[in-house]
C-alpha cells in the first residue's frame, strides 16, 4: 500500500497541473477569438483578388512569368507552416507527416538528388525537418509571436524572386486550414506556377461574367503583373492566419483533454488515498485494541 503522504503529494501535483492546463485552455480560447477575427477580416480582400485574377487569366493570351510552366521540373520548394509552440496535440505532427508522405510519393527523386528545399515557418516545423535531415533553405522561427502582413510579404517576395529567376520550378505550400475549433484540414498545394485552370474552377464563374467589358487601366497585362504578386502574398497571408487560428483551436482542445485527464487521475488518486487512510486507521485500531487486551491479560 502506497504511503499516505506520497499520495497526498501526487494529488497536489495533479491538481496544480490541472490548474495550469485549464489556464492554458482559456488563454488559447482568447487567442483563438482574435485569430478568427483576423482571418475573417482578410477573407473579402482575398476573395476579391482571386476573382479579378481569375477573370484576367481566363483571357489565355496573357502571359506572365509567374504563370510560366517549366519545361522540366528541376528544383522544388516546399513552404511548411507549423507552430512556434507545442502543447497543441497532433497539430504539427499530422501536417508534417502529410508533407513527408507527399514528398516521398511524388518527389523522392528530388529529395535524393538534393534538388528539393524547404522553407520552414514556425519553430516546430524547423525542429521536425532539421532532425530528419531535410535541406532547410530558410527558417523563420518566432513568426507567430508577432504575426504581421509585412513580414509575411517578405517571405513570399523572396520566393517569387527565386521562382522568376528560375531557381525553382515549382513551389508548394503546406499548412493547416481552419475548419472548426476542433478540426483542421491539412493542405498541401502548388502555388507556383499559378495554375489558371484551377483558379477559374475554384471561382465557379459562369458565362455571364464574361459579358462585362472592363476598361483595363493601364492595360490588362500591366494589371496582371501587379496583381499576381498580390494574389500570392494574400495566399500566404491567409494560410498563416488559418494556421494560427487552427493552432489555437488545437491547443484549446488538447488542453481541455489534459484538464479532463487530470480530473480523472485526481479522482483515482483520491480513492486510493481514502483506501490507504482507511486501512491505516484499521491497523491502528487493531493495534490499540490488541495492546489494551495484552494489558488486561497481565
Partner 1 sequence: MADTFQAQILTPDGKRFEGSVQAVQVPGVGGSFEMRVDHAPIISTLAIGRARVITDTTELLYFAISGGFVEMNDNNMTLLAEAAERVEEIDVERAERAKARALEELMKRQKDKEVMLRALKRAENRLSLKEQQLEGKLD
* Residue 92 · residue 187 · CB < 8 Å: no
**Least distance from partner 1 to the Cβ atom of residue 145, Å:** 18
Q: Return the range that interacts with partner 1 (CB under 8 A); candidates 40-48, 125-133, 243-251, 257-265.
A: 40-48
Rounded CA separation 228/248 (Å)? 30
Task: Give strand pairing partners of 121.
Answer: 81, 140
Q: Can you tell me which of 20, 27, 29, 52 binds partner 1, judged by CB under 8 A?
A: 52
**Is residue 120 annotated as a catalytic residue, yes or no?**
no
Does the footprint of partner 1 cover residue 65 (CB under 8 A)? no
Nearer to partner 1, 197 or 212 (CB): 212
DSSP string, 31-94: HHHHHHHHHHHHHHHHHHHHHHHHHHHHSTT---TTTPPPSS---EEEEEE--SS--STTHHHH
Q: Which long-range contacts (CB under 8 A, 24 or more apart) does 287-295 make?
A: none
Give me the least distance between CB of 55 and partner 1, in Å please: 8
Instruction: Tell me the C-alpha distance between 204 and 198, whole Å.
Output: 10
Interaction of residue 200 with partner 1, rule CB under 8 A: no
x/- mask, partner 1, residues 10-39, rule CB under 8 A, reads ----------------------------x-
Residue 232 · residue 160 · CB < 8 Å: yes
Q: Rule CB under 8 A: choose which of 127, 187, 203, 223 binds partner 1.
A: 223
263 SS3 class? helix
Q: What is the DSSP letter of 211?
A: G
Question: CB of 61: closest distance to partner 1 in angstroms?
Answer: 17
Sketch the per residue contact string, 140 through 179, with partner 1: x for CB under 8 A, - otherwise.
---------x---x--------------------------
Q: Identify the active-site residue in 88, 199, 227, 269.
A: 88
The residues that touch partner 1, with contacts defined as CB under 8 A, are 38, 41-42, 44-46, 48-49, 52, 149, 153, 212-218, 222-223, 226-227, 230, 233-234, 237
Amino acid at each position: 500500500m502506497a504511503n499516505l503522504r506520497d499520495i497526498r503529494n501526487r494529488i497536489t501535483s495533479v491538481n496544480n497541473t490541472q490548474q495550469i492546463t485549464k489556464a492554458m485552455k482559456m488563454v488559447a480560447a482568447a487567442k483563438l477569438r482574435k485569430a478568427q477575427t483576423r482571418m475573417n477580416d482578410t477573407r473579402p480582400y482575398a476573395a476579391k483578388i482571386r476573382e479579378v485574377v481569375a477573370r484576367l487569366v481566363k483571357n489565355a493570351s496573357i502571359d506572365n512569368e509567374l504563370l510560366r510552366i517549366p519545361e522540366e521540373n528541376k528544383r522544388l520548394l516546399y513552404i511548411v507552416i507549423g507552430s512556434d509552440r507545442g502543447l497543441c496535440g497532433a497539430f504539427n505532427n499530422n501536417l508534417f507527416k502529410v508533407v513527408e508522405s507527399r514528398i516521398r510519393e511524388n518527389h523522392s527523386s528530388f529529395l535524393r538528388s538534393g534538388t528539393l528545399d524547404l522553407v520552414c515557418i514556425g519553430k516546430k516545423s524547423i525542429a521536425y525537418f532539421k532532425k530528419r535531415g531535410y535541406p532547410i533553405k530558410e527558417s523563420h522561427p518566432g513568426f507567430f509571436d508577432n504575426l504581421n502582413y509585412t513580414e509575411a510579404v517578405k517571405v513570399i517576395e523572396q520566393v517569387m524572386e527565386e521562382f522568376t529567376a528560375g531557381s525553382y520550378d515549382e513551389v508548394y505550400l503546406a499548412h493547416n486550414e481552419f475548419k472548426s475549433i476542433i478540426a483542421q484540414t491539412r493542405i498541401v498545394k502548388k502555388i507556383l506556377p499559378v495554375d489558371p485552370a484551377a483558379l477559374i474552377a475554384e471561382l465557379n464563374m459562369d458565362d455571364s461574367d464574361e459579358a462585362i467589358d472592363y476598361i483595363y487601366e493601364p492595360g490588362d497585362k500591366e494589371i496582371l503583373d501587379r496583381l499576381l504578386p498580390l494574389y500570392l502574398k494574400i495566399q500566404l497571408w491567409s494560410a498563416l492566419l488559418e494556421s494560427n487560428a487552427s493552432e489555437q483551436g488545437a491547443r484549446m482542445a488538447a488542453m481541455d483533454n489534459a484538464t479532463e485527464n487530470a480530473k480523472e487521475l485526481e479522482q483515482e488518486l483520491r480513492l486510493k488515498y481514502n483506501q490507504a487512510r482507511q486501512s491505516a486507521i484499521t491497523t491502528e485500531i487493531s493495534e490499540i485494541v490488541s495492546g489494551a487486551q495484552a494489558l488486561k491479560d497481565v
